[in-house]
Structure 1
C-alpha cells in the first residue's frame, strides 16, 4: 500500500501567467519557519527572472488565515537554549521583506483570515494587498516581549495620524476596512469573489503592468464601511501622539470613554520594556528614509530581544503554558530606565543584512 503523499510546507508553482506561492501549514495557520522563508525567497528570485510569469499570487492554505507569523515556538526553544535561530531567521526574513517591497512584478497578497507578525511582512510590502470581510491583521508582538518587526515600524508610521502608533502599541486587530485606512491594504474583495479574481489574475497578459493588475482587482472590489479604529481617529491622535509611554497612559487615563479605557487596559498587560522600545522604533521610523533603514533598526533591536528575559517569558505565557500571566522584568513602565532601552539600539548587525539590489 502506498504511503500518503505529504505536501511541502510551502507550495510553489506556475498557474498560467501567475507564479503562485502558497503557505501550507494550515494547522499552524501557516506560520513561517526558517525553511519556508528560504524557499519563499528562492521562489521570488526565480519568478522575477521567468519571462512567462506576469504576476505573483501569495495565499495561505486552509480557512483560518494567510499566516499567523513566525514559528514562535522554535524561536522560544532556541532562545532558552542560547541558540542563534532568532539571529538567522530574522536576518533572512528581513532580507525577504525588502525583496518583496522592491519586487519588479505585480505582487498580489490575499490577506484573508488571520494575518499576524511575519504574515504582515509577506503581505504588507506587496504592490497589491487584498483584504476580505474575514481579515484580521495584527502586530501583537508587545504582548510577548517583542515589537512590530518585518518592516512593521515602516508600515505603521505611514498610516494616517497616530493609527499606526495605536495598533503597534496595543496589538489590536485591524479588520479589512481599518487595514485599508491604515495603508496596510489596498482593496476590499468579498471572500466569495476570490476564486473568480484569482482566475482573472492567472490569465493576466504577458508582462502585465501594476496598473493592469490594479484594474483587474478593481473589477471585484467593493468599498468597505469605515472600521472601528477609523471611527476613533480623533481620540487615537490625541492620546497616541505623545512621545513617551507615560504621557500616552496619562492621556488615556484622562479620557473616560469606553474606547480609551479599553486601550489603557490593553497597554497595562503588555511588556513595559517592549512598549518603550516599540514607541522609540516607531518615532525613529517616522523620520526614516526607507524600509531598509527601518529593517536595520528592527534587526538591531531583535538581537537584544532574543537575549532578553521578557521574550522567553512572553512566549511561555502566551503560547507554551498559555496561562496568560507573564511576569515581566521590569514589571512596570516606571522601572524601564533609559539604559535598559538603550540596549536595543546598539550599533550592530547592519552588515549582516545584505539587501537585494
Structure 2
C-alpha cells in the first residue's frame, strides 16, 4: 500500500546524504513488511556507496514519522491466519532495528510528530535522533494486549530510574524534553528549522548541521515526577506497583494507576517481566531475541486480537480482557512469553557473539 502517492518508502540522495522517507501518510506511515524490506535493501546499497556519508529518516505528511506497525494486518493474521505472516514481518523488522543500531554510517532520524511502536524501532536506535515541539513518542503496546517490542524494552530499561517502567506499562505519551531525558532522543530542533537542517545535511557533517539548529527543549513532565515514579515502579509486582500508585497521594500517580489498570492485565505483567529481564540481558540483540519470543507468544492470545479490535478495528475503546484482572494472571501465563523457540529463535545475539543465543541461559 502506498496511498496512491508512490512507493511506500521513497529513496533519494541529496549531496552527501541519502534519504529514507516513509510514505504512507494516510496510514500515519505505519510499517508493513514491504517497507521493512525496502528500508533494509536501501541500507545495504548505501553502506557500500562512498558517495553516501549520512542516512536520514523522515516521514511523509504532516502528522508524524510513523505510528507503528500495521496492526490491522497482525489482527487478521492472529484471528484468521496461522501467524506465519506476523512472524516473518517481526523477524525482518527486528533485524532491521538491530542493523540501524550498528549501521556504520551516521543514521539521522527526524522524530517529528507521532512516533510510536515500530516508529520508535526505526528511529530511536539511530545515531542522531531529532525531536521537535510536535513530537509525541510512546510504546503503547499494553493497550492492545501486547508487549513492547522493536527493542523498546531495551531502550526503556535504560531510562533513568523507573521512568522506562512507567512508560512501558502505561503506554504514556511523551514530548521532546521527556524523550531527551529518557534517552530516546539526542537533540531538540524546532520543526520550522527542519527544512534548513535537511539542506545542511546535504553539505555538512552531521554534527555541524545539527549544531546550527539545535536548541534547548521546552520543559517536560517526567523530571518533576521522578520521586513518585521511582518509588512506586521499583516494586517487584504489578499489583504492588498499583497499590503504591494509589496510596502515594499525588494525583498523577493515581491517574497512572487507573491508566495501568485499563491495559491488558496479562500484557502488563509480561511487560514488567520483560523490562526487568532486559536490564540483565545487556545487548540490544539479546533483548530483540527475547522480544521475538514474547511477540510470538502474544500472537496466540485472546488479548491481542481483542485489543486491536477495540482500539483500531471497531474503535469502541472497550476491550474485554481475559483474564480480566491482574490477580487472575498466573506466573505460568507470564513465563510463556519467554519460552525458548528452538529452531524458530531469532538468534541475533548468537550472530553477534552476545549472551542470549539459543540454548543459553536467560
Instruction: Output the TM-score relative to the length of structure 1.
Output: 0.95
Q: Does 1:122 align with 2:127?
A: no
Q: How many angstroms apart in 1 are the aligned matches of 2:115 and 2:149? A: 14
Residue 41 (structure 1) shift = 0.7
Q: How many angstroms apart in 2 are the aligned matches of 1:353 and 1:15? A: 35
2:334 equivalent among 325, 337, 341: 341
Residue 310 (structure 1) shift = 0.4
CA RMSD in angstroms, aligned pairs only? 1.5
Match of 1:209 in 2: none
Q: Does 1:310 align with 2:310?
A: no
Consecutive unaligned residues of structure 1, counting only runs of 5 or more, are 205-211
Q: How many angstroms apart in 1 are the aligned matches of 2:343 and 2:331? A: 23
Match of 1:263 in 2: 256
Match of 1:80 in 2: 79
Consecutive unaligned residues of structure 2, counting only runs of 5 or more, are 353-362
Match of 2:134 in 1: 134
Q: How many angstroms apart in 1 are the aligned matches of 2:314 and 2:40? A: 33
Contact kept, 8 Å, 1:69 with 1:118, in 2: the verdict is yes
Instruction: Output the TM-score relative to the length of structure 2.
Output: 0.93
Q: How many angstroms apart in 2 are the aligned matches of 1:40 and 1:33? A: 11
Match of 2:236 in 1: 243
Contact kept, 8 Å, 1:299 with 1:349, in 2: the verdict is no
Q: How many angstroms apart in 1 are the aligned matches of 2:282 and 2:31? A: 28
Residue 91 (structure 1) shift = 0.6
Matched position secondary structure for 2:193: helix
1:301 equivalent among 271, 274, 294: 294
Q: How does 1:123-202 map to 2 (within 5 A)?
A: 123-202=123-202
Residue 6 (structure 1) shift = 4.4
Q: How many angstroms apart in 2 are the aligned matches of 1:220 and 1:306? A: 43
Contact kept, 8 Å, 2:289 with 2:347, in 1: the verdict is no
1:260-305 Cα deviation digits (max 9, x unpaired): 1110110110000001000000000111120000001100011111
Residue 5 (structure 1) shift = 7.7
Q: How many angstroms apart in 2 are the aligned matches of 1:198 and 1:354? A: 36
Q: How many angstroms apart in 1 are the aligned matches of 2:264 and 2:344? A: 29
Match of 1:320 in 2: 313
Hey, which bits of structure 1, 4+ residues long, moved more than 3 A? 349-352, 354-357
Seen in structure 2, the aligned counterparts of structure 1 residues 6 and 170 have a Cα distance that, compared at 3 Å, is closer
Seen in structure 2, the aligned counterparts of structure 1 residues 59 and 279 have a Cα distance that, compared at 3 Å, is same
Match of 1:102 in 2: 102
Q: How many angstroms apart in 1 are the aligned matches of 2:321 and 2:251? A: 26
